[in-house]
Amino acid sequence: MDVQTNSQAFHQKIKAAGMLIAIGIVFGDIGTSPLYTYNALFHPGEVINEMKALGVLSCVIWTLTLQTTLKYIVITLQADNKGEGGIFSLFALIKRYYGRWLIVLAIIGGSFLIADGIITPPISVASAVEGMRAIYPEINTVPIVIAIIIGLFAIQQFGTQQIGKFFGPVMVIWFTFIGAIGILSLVHNPSVLRAFNPGYAYQLLVHYPHGFWLLGGVFLCTTGAEAMYSDMGHVGRNNIRVSWIYIKVALILCYAGQTAWLLSAGQANDLSPFYNIVPKAIYLPAVILATCATIIASQALITGCFTLANEAIHLGFWPRHRIIFPGTIRGQLYIPFFNWALMVCCIGMVLYFKESSKMEAAFGLSVTLTMLTTTILIALWLRAKRRPMVLVVLVAIIFLSVEFSFLIANLQKIKEGGWIMLVVGALLTGIMLVWRSGRLQQKSMVSFRELDNGDLAKLVELSHQEQISSYATNLIYLTASSEPNEVEDKTIRSIFANPIKKADVYWFFHVDIADEPYTLQYSVTPLSTNDVYHVNLKLGFRVQPRVDLFFRMIAQELLASGELQLDKTPIMHFAANEIGDYKFVIINSYLSFDNDLPFWKALLIKSYYNLKGIGVSDDVNYGLDASNVVLEKYPLLFTNRPPLNLKRI
């Protein structure tokens, strides 16, 4: 059964365990939005206007229906890349149909989604912890929020496999709880359910003073929708779809209950409308449950950021980092650089804003931009799948209209703190574009040469030269060339430079990152049997590139099949294993002083090399054992400077 068939079967299954996992890791962000959404719409001391209250509830209901249910649950979840979802997976799925301009869209969307990961944990945790103020009015919640965030990021390095088992049950309790307290509040004023009529939303946006600008706060109710698509590969499409029915009912009941309380109270107070509908008898357990739910929501978002960063690295959008797989769950990974960088940024947000009500200004703007890029990519995917043009245009018009409205309304938050998210998103976008462009520019400056009969004969002769000391039984060079008869000029120079590197077998390894997530294939071209081999290793963009391990597996398979024979060499008589010793030669380039680059090209290349400083070296990136690696330096030349008129006097 192939990968495509397996992924289809995985997504078609509906299991109780799968839905439990989906509720635990997919809906955490959107599930905790009732804690803070109405805080952004109804301010302490505000006298409640019925048109506004019912209009806001109507907007929330129809946002969850159009934006979340129709766009993500019905349409977007269909666009799986061999079972995986997310904006980078979507880009990889359709990039072959369109030009390179799609890269900019994908990078912008991915950058602002990562930026969202900086503000979501602080606002979620802070909004839950601030419920303690009803019991301890003078409590300073900032240290508590920071302590929770530090603890949350500290446990990432150990993996979340064990505690992850509790995510589903806790979130089921959470959604049941918010739905139940919503019903208890609705009993006192069930007339608010009139807001299912979209006419109330229309009245708010068109006739209520400054009603349109309230969309910036309304948008907070759907900020976790993107996670449904990103996490599709972990839990399955149909498990998400069926679970969403229960989640949506619970969310609407909770928002309706808060609206009922606002109309009955007649005035908002210092406490969140959410905590005002919590029965006093269970208030403290409710705060603890809310805090647990926000921690789980933050955990899911952090895991999503790791997955997104991993895809960006493998697609060549971001500098390479050390990636660790702490558990046995498929797709679970840990990136130390991103973990600690996210933690520092989250703490910075808490210290800057201090309260969740002030963080709302920075929240939502980045997600709006991500959703806009997803809409464009989905429309292009529908077109690539040859869906009727009428459907493509209709989808694009409906969702772009909704999201542009949210974007315009969110722009008013720039002065109140929204500028931070724009700066962070723009910075991440800039880094990705510079890294990708610089990498391609650097690649274009590397010269290649054909392995003609002369070079190949020289390699074979050196391999059999008994008067020269052996450098290694197997000598492996990573090459950017997928063509067996082509190799970098620097590689040939390295072999025949001092010291001359005599090996029994020379290997040229090309690592190709596939558009599919979990591809793991290789092909071998013997350029000279038992002497020179070219290997093309094809890896999915979610596969850890453990090239050291893959080389041993490939060599052992060739030995087993008889395509490679090493037992005739003298050194193999004493070798501890059947493939003998091996060394990877990593040739790191640097910009030579003998270049005459144009200013902008020189700036791009230098920026690229500076960005290398925040990443890891090639040997770490490719999973090479340090004891088997030789590092060399190679000057990178673009054009030689004109001859200098140097005179002897």
As beta bridge partners, residue 325 has none
Separation of alpha carbons 269 and 273, rounded Å: 8
- pTM, two decimals, is 0.81
What pLDDT is recorded for position 377?
Answer: 92
Report helix, strand and coil shares of the chain as percent, to nearest 5: 65, 10, 25
Q: Are 232 and 84 in contact (CB under 8 A)?
A: yes
What pLDDT is recorded for position 331?
Answer: 53
The answer to whether the Cα torsion of 35, 38, 41, 43 is positive or negative is negative
Q: Position of tokens 């409308």?
A: 273
Structure tokens at 297: 């929501």
Instruction: Name residues of the chain where pLDDT drops below 50.
Output: 1, 3
- Three-class DSSP category at 124: helix
Compute φ and ψ for 13, nearest 5 degrees: -70, 140
What pLDDT is recorded for position 596?
Answer: 67
Name the residue type at position 252: I
Q: With respect to CATH, is domain 3-439 assigned 1.20.1740.10?
A: yes
User: What's the CA dihedral at 571, 576, 577, 580 to 10 degrees?
Assistant: -30
Q: What angle do CA 130, 132, 135 make, to 5 degrees?
A: 140
Domain boundaries defined on the chain: 3-439, 448-636
Fill in the DSSP letter of residue 498.
S
What pLDDT is recorded for position 239?
Answer: 87
What pLDDT is recorded for position 637?
Answer: 63
Half-sphere exposure of 271 (CA within 13 A, CB side): 19
Burial 435-448 (b: 16+ CB within 10 A, else e): bbbbbeebeebbee
What pLDDT is recorded for position 497?
Answer: 82
User: By C-alpha distance, which of 22, 99, 90 is closest to 311?
Assistant: 90
What pLDDT is recorded for position 1?
Answer: 46
What pLDDT is recorded for position 296?
Answer: 87
What pLDDT is recorded for position 174?
Answer: 95
End-to-end CA distance of the chain: 79
